A and B are shown apart, each in its own frame.
Chain A
């Protein structure tokens, strides 16, 4: 089956920083990829679908790119509400291991 990996596993950043998270698939998944944000004790929240489409209601500082096997989630200017864990997911179900964004 297709395996999903993410890097880094933890990222320390400051408010206002540009943040990039990478997700890789073990083989091509075209653009069948979503990104989620999760905060402690809460269900995940969909940010990006089809690799680069912004979900309705999600701030425009979030963006996604990539295709085939390599994908990125970018936060253009990190806000206090963005400190959370981010997961990529292939549409076959499998998630990446997550990237925790914490305060530097």
Chain B
């Protein structure tokens, strides 16, 4: 069955960096685009970024451009989200999801930005 598992979350100080991973199994990974979506505590869903099946096309939420970078490794069946210059407002649970629309979601990894 399709499984997505996020990892790499944790507590980080403002201004620092973090790299999240989304490991996938149960489907032909190189056939699907992958999204990152986040949810701040008590808030709604916020789309972060998407990468195409082959990694050639990437889109980002306007509010995040320049700080976050999405990439993928189709040998390792993994998508990454490199997050730089983290701010308190980036505190959230980060989910990865398969396809458009998103049919399968991971369980999420929490990121807390705090001094």
Which chain B residue has the least Cβ–Cβ distance from A50? Answer: B101
CA distance A63 to B73 in the complex (A): 37
- Distance between B92 CB and nearest chain A CB, rounded to angstroms: 13
* Chain A residues with CB under 8 A of B103: 46, 55
> How does the 8 Å CB contact mask read for B6-41 relative to A, with 1 for contact and 0 for none?
000000000000000000000000000001010000
| A43-B95, A43-B107 known; A95+B102 contact, CB < 8 A | no
Which chain B residue has the least Cβ–Cβ distance from A49? Answer: B101
> How does the 8 Å CB contact mask read for B41-55 relative to A, with 1 for contact and 0 for none?
000111101100000
> How does the 8 Å CB contact mask read for B82-115 relative to A, with 1 for contact and 0 for none?
0000000000000101001111011110000000
Q: Taking each of B45, B47, B59, B100, which has the highest tally of chain A beta carbons within 10 Å of its own beta carbon?
A: B45
B61 within 8 A of A: yes
A97 within 8 A of B: yes
Number of A-B contacts (CB under 8 A): 50
Contact indicator B46/A43 (Cβ below 8 Å): no
| A1-B62, A44-B105, A49-B101 known; A93+B44 contact, CB < 8 A | no
CA distance A38 to B50 in the complex (A): 21
Contact indicator B45/A87 (Cβ below 8 Å): yes
Known: A43-B105, A95-B37. 18 other contacts (CB 8 A): A36-B45, A43-B95, A43-B97, A43-B106, A43-B107, A46-B103, A85-B44, A89-B47, A89-B101, A89-B102, A93-B47, A93-B49, A93-B59, A94-B47, A95-B47, A97-B44, A98-B44, A98-B45
Which residues on B are within 8 Å of A, measured CB to CB? 35, 37, 44-47, 49-50, 59, 61-62, 95, 97, 100-103, 105-108
Q: Sample 23 A-B pairs with CB under 8 A, ordered by A number.
A: A34-B101, A34-B102, A36-B102, A38-B45, A43-B97, A43-B107, A45-B105, A46-B101, A46-B102, A46-B103, A87-B44, A89-B47, A89-B101, A91-B100, A93-B50, A94-B47, A94-B61, A95-B37, A95-B44, A95-B45, A96-B44, A98-B44, A98-B45
